[in-house]
Amino acid sequence: MSAMIVDVLKAFAIGICASAPLGPAAILVLQKSLSYGHRAGFYTGLGATTIDTTYATLSIFALAWTQDFINTYEYTIYLIGGLIVALLGAAMAFKDPFRKLKNGNPSRGASIKDYAEAVLTALSNPGAAFVMFALFAFFNINAGRSGFSVLPIILGVAAGSMAYWFTFSYIFSKIRNVIKMSALVWLSRIAGIIVMIIGIALLGEGTFQLFFNKV
C-alpha cells in the first residue's frame, strides 16, 4: 500500500511537470485567463489535462506501440498540428479578445470552445508524448501495470495537471485586474504571435522532413 501511495505522489508530480513547460497550450491558457478570467483559463487547461492523461495512459498500456505510431507519422502530425497551431495563433494575435471586457462583461465564463482549442493544440505537439514517457522513466514508475492498479496512477497524473492549470489560470486571471487594458491587448497579441511562430516552425519542420525523406 505504501508503494502505491508513493507512486500516486510521483504521478501527481508527473502531471505538474508535464504541464509546466511554456508551450502552445500554456500560452493559450494564459491568453484565455487574461481575456476571460479564471474559469475560462482553467477550462482551457482541462483540455491540456485530457491529452496529458491520455499520454499517461498510453505510457502505461501501450508504450512501444505509441512510440512506433509517433515515429511513423511524426512529420504528418507536425504538418497538421503546425497548421492548426499557426491558425490558432493568428486568431489570437489579430482579434481583440477584450472586446467584451470593454463592453462591461468582465468574464464570459468557461466555453467548450476553450476546451476544444486546448485539446487540438496539445495534440499538435507529439513531443509531449515523449516528455510523458521520459517522466515515467525518470520517476521510476513501472509501465507494466495492468487492471485497476493503473487507475490511481492515471488519476494522480490528471490531478497534478489540473492542480497546475488551476493555479496558473488563477494567478494570471488576477494579474489582469491590475494591468491596463492596452497592456493586456499587447500581451494577448504577443502570446498569439508566439503560438503562430511555433505553429509555422512545426509546419516547416514537417514539410522539410517529408521533402528531405522523399529526396
The pLDDT of residue 115 is 92
List all residues 6 or more positions away from 163 whose beta carbon is below 8 Å from its beta carbon.
12, 15, 16
| CA distance readout (Å), 64 to 57, 126, 129, 144 | 13, 15, 12, 11
The pLDDT of residue 169 is 92
CA distance 159 to 181: 33
**Every domain of the chain and the residues it spans:** 2-214
Here the cell at position 84 is 492548426
In the chain, which residue ranges form alpha helices assigned H by DSSP?
2-19, 24-36, 38-61, 63-94, 99-102, 112-123, 127-138, 151-175, 181-214
User: Can you give the pTM of this predicted structure?
Assistant: 0.69
The pLDDT of residue 104 is 42
The pLDDT of residue 92 is 65
The per-residue pLDDT string of the chain (215 residues; one tens digit each, 9 = 90 and over) reads: 577 788 889 999 999 988 876 677 888 888 888 878 899 999 999 999 999 999 888 877 765 565 566 667 767 767 776 777 677 677 767 766 555 444 444 556 677 888 998 998 888 776 677 777 767 767 777 555 555 678 888 999 999 999 999 999 998 888 877 766 666 667 767 777 876 887 788 778 778 777 776 55
The pLDDT of residue 103 is 45
Q: How far is CA 69 from the centre of its chain?
A: 20
List all residues 6 or more positions away from 92 whose beta carbon is below 8 Å from its beta carbon.
28, 31, 188, 189, 191, 192, 195, 196
40 touches 107 (CB < 8 A):
yes
Half-sphere exposure of 114 (CA within 13 A, CB side): 27
The pLDDT of residue 50 is 95
